[in-house]
């Protein structure tokens, strides 16, 4: 089947939800969603067919069962099947609804009619295959931290978003008052999605720039040190990036870092401190945490 996707569904104890999200993201899944089914949670995720064979999916199922046993919880029920691209594009959308985040943001699916009086900054989004819908704990933590940084007084902040995904954090930064934001991602589909979402929110491409790449590309894009650094990706990648953040920073630069499970927090914090950063606060939601950092 051309342009087919694996739909992976995991029925689990709600206490396993965060661990399952992490496993699925590490596996390379996109467009993850969840819903409550009675006393259980159904997590759905999508993966291009060519990225996994049946043995890979069986290994993933085994890892999910082992995670549950290590936590003394009932093993989840895992199933998968192939769907075509059109079905994938619409299947996950039925589970995603408008979300109020913090005091000022309303993350709003692009395919819904516009609300008459949102009463908040309206962040319209169609993430496509990119990570970042606002439903995941790490994204929510980052958005709330951004609001604390930018949302309560006039700002002239210049912001860099490493691993921008759907562009949700960069767009939120602009809506909350940042002067300009740069977002980069190594996935060309994420960059395409972020640019599309920039247009949805009627933000100029001179004020919000999305490019393919990582830190090296950011170093070429920005012509001055940034005020804030956003990074919501996997802990292993964050640890590798931290020694190179100096190229973007000045003495007053702050950062918001997430995508880190609680049991991964110490090595991330240690690496930050070794490279001249102070963890000002550490916010937690479920099994995930968000670092609010500044230069030492």
Q: For 213-271, how does the pLDDT look when each residue is reduced to its tens digit (9 = 90+)?
A: 999 999 999 999 999 999 998 888 999 999 999 999 999 999 999 989 888 999 999 99
| pLDDT beyond 70 at 190 | yes
| pLDDT beyond 60 at 88 | no
Q: In this structure, are strands 208-212 and 99-101 parallel, antiparallel, or unpaired? A: unpaired
Record the tokens describing residue 262, joined without a space: 């609680």
**120 — phi, psi (to 5°)?**
-145, 170
Per-residue pLDDT band for 129 (boundaries 50, 70, 90) equals low
Residue of 53 and 32 predicted with greater confidence:
53
CATH of domain 98-295: 3.40.50.150
Residue of 25 and 276 predicted with greater confidence:
276
User: Average pLDDT, whole number, for the chain?
Assistant: 89
Report the pLDDT value the prediction gives residue 112, as an integer from 0 to 100: 85
Distance CA 163, CA 159 (A): 13
Structure-derived torsion over alpha carbons of residues 214, 220, 222, 226, reported in degrees to the nearest 10: 50
Interacting residues of 224 by C-beta distance below 8 A, sequence separation 6+: 158
Question: Which range has highest mean pLDDT (26-30, 63-67, 187-191, 225-229)?
Answer: 225-229
| pLDDT beyond 60 at 134 | yes
Multiple choice CATH, 4-93, 3.30.70.260, 3.90.420.10, 3.40.50.300, 3.20.20.30: 3.30.70.260
| pLDDT beyond 80 at 94 | no
Per-residue pLDDT band for 86 (boundaries 50, 70, 90) equals low
Q: In this structure, are strands 30-37 and 40-48 parallel, antiparallel, or unpaired? A: antiparallel
Average pLDDT over residues 142-156: 92
* Strands annotated E in 85-221: 99-101, 105-109, 121-125, 158-162, 180-185, 208-212
Check if the beta carbon of residue 127 is closer than 8 Å to that of residue 194: no
| pLDDT beyond 70 at 89 | no
All CATH 3.40.50.150 domain ranges in the chain, comma separated: 98-295
* Cα dihedral 229, 230, 233, 236 sign: positive
For residues 17-32, b (16+ Cβ closer than 10 Å) or e, as one string? bbbbbbbbbebebbbb
Check if the beta carbon of residue 51 is closer than 8 Å to that of residue 28: yes
Interacting residues of 172 by C-beta distance below 8 A, sequence separation 6+: 105, 121, 123, 143, 146, 147
Interacting residues of 81 by C-beta distance below 8 A, sequence separation 6+: 6, 7
Per-residue pLDDT band for 178 (boundaries 50, 70, 90) equals very high
Residue of 131 and 152 predicted with greater confidence:
152
pTM for the full predicted model: 0.74
Report the pLDDT value the prediction gives residue 136, as an integer from 0 to 100: 82
DSSP run (H or E) holding 70 = helix 54-70
Average pLDDT over residues 15-21: 88
Least reliable range by pLDDT among 12-21, 139-148, 251-260 = 12-21
All CATH 3.30.70.260 domain ranges in the chain, comma separated: 4-93
| pLDDT beyond 50 at 1 | no
């Amino acid at each position: 089947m051309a342009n087919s996707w694996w739909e992976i569904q995991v029925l689990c104890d709600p206490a396993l939800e965060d661990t399952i999200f992490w496993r699925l993201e590490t596996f390379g899944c996109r467009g993850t969603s969840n819903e409550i089914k009675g006393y259980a949670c159904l997590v759905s995720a999508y993966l291009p067919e060519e990225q996994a064979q049946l043995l890979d999916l069986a290994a993933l199922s085994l890892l999910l069962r082992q995670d549950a046993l290590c936590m003394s919880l009932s093993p989840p029920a895992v199933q998968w099947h192939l769907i075509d691209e059109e079905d994938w594009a619409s299947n996950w959308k039925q589970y995603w609804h408008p979300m109020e985040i913090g005091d000022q943001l309303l993350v709003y699916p692009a395919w819904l009619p516009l609300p008459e009086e949102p009463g908040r900054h309206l962040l319209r989004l169609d993430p496509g295959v990119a990570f970042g819908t606002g439903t995941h704990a790490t994204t929510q933590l980052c958005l709330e931290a951004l609001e604390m940084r930018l949302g309560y007084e006039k700002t002239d902040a210049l912001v860099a978003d490493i691993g921008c995904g759907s562009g949700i954090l960069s767009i939120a930064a602009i809506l909350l008052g940042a002067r300009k934001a740069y977002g980069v991602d190594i996935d060309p589909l994420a960059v395409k999605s972020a640019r599309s979402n920039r247009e949805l929110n009627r933000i100029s491409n001179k004020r919000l720039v999305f490019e393919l790449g990582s830190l090296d590309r950011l170093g070429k894009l920005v012509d001055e040190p940034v005020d804030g650094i956003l990074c919501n990706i996997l802990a292993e990648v964050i640890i590798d990036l931290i020694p190179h953040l100096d190229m973007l920073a000045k003495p007053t630069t702050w950062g918001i870092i997430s995508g880190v499970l609680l049991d991964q927090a110490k090595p991330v914090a240690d690496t930050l401190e070794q490279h001249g950063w102070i963890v000002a606060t550490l916010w937690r939601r479920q099994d995930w945490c968000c670092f609010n950092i500044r230069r030492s």
